[in-house]
Amino acid sequence: MALTSVSIPESVLERLSIEVKRLGLVLEEYLVDLALSDLDSQERSRELAKAARHALMAAKERISSEDIREAAKWLWVAASLSIRAFSEWKEGRRLHTHGDLWNYAGRLVVELGEWAHESWTMAEAMHVCYYTSLCPSGNLGEVARRVARLVEEIGRMVGG
């Protein structure tokens, strides 16, 4: 999957930015949610898992080009979309906000094991990195490895 640019009026982007900030998401994550909103839970979980794989590929490309801040964003998006996919698949529950993700992430320990929650926590650090631009490059490879496991395992479970 290739990344595609979209051109929209600045006033529309400002409105989207306000909504994304309110929800604690990033724009790409919000747009995926919006595009998949009319699907049933099972189909939506599969599509979210596919989008998570795409985000992971984007993160790896950014790591290769040493674009640390963008790599951090895409690692966060990959983990977030995977958790959303799992929630949809397991319970038919949509997670709409960053708070919803945090509240649900604790269930990963029960469902998948401690490794999954640790992967989420590392991805969450990438979310902070993206918004603060305080990004240590030394552990990106480890974060990518852990997020990749989360994306792959959840993808297999939901069939995405």
Q: Give the pLDDT band (50/70/90) at residue 89.
A: very high
In a domain? residue 1:
no
For 31-76, how does the pLDDT look when each residue is reduced to its tens digit (9 = 90+)? 888 899 999 999 999 999 999 999 999 999 998 888 888 888 899 9
Q: Residue 19 and residue 138: Cα distance in Å, rounded? A: 32
Q: What is the dihedral of CA 59, 1, 26, 93, to 10 degrees?
A: -110
Q: Which domain holds residue 50?
A: 10-158
Whether residue 2 lies inside any domain: the answer is no
Q: What is the pLDDT of residue 82?
A: 96
Closest CA to 75 of 17, 149, 144: 144
CATH number of the domain encompassing residue 84: 1.20.120.330
- The answer to the question of residue 55 being in a domain is yes
This prediction has a pTM of 0.87
**Number of structural domains the chain divides into:** 1
pLDDT of 1 > 70? The answer is: no
Please name the residue ranges forming H helices in 4-40.
10-23, 27-35
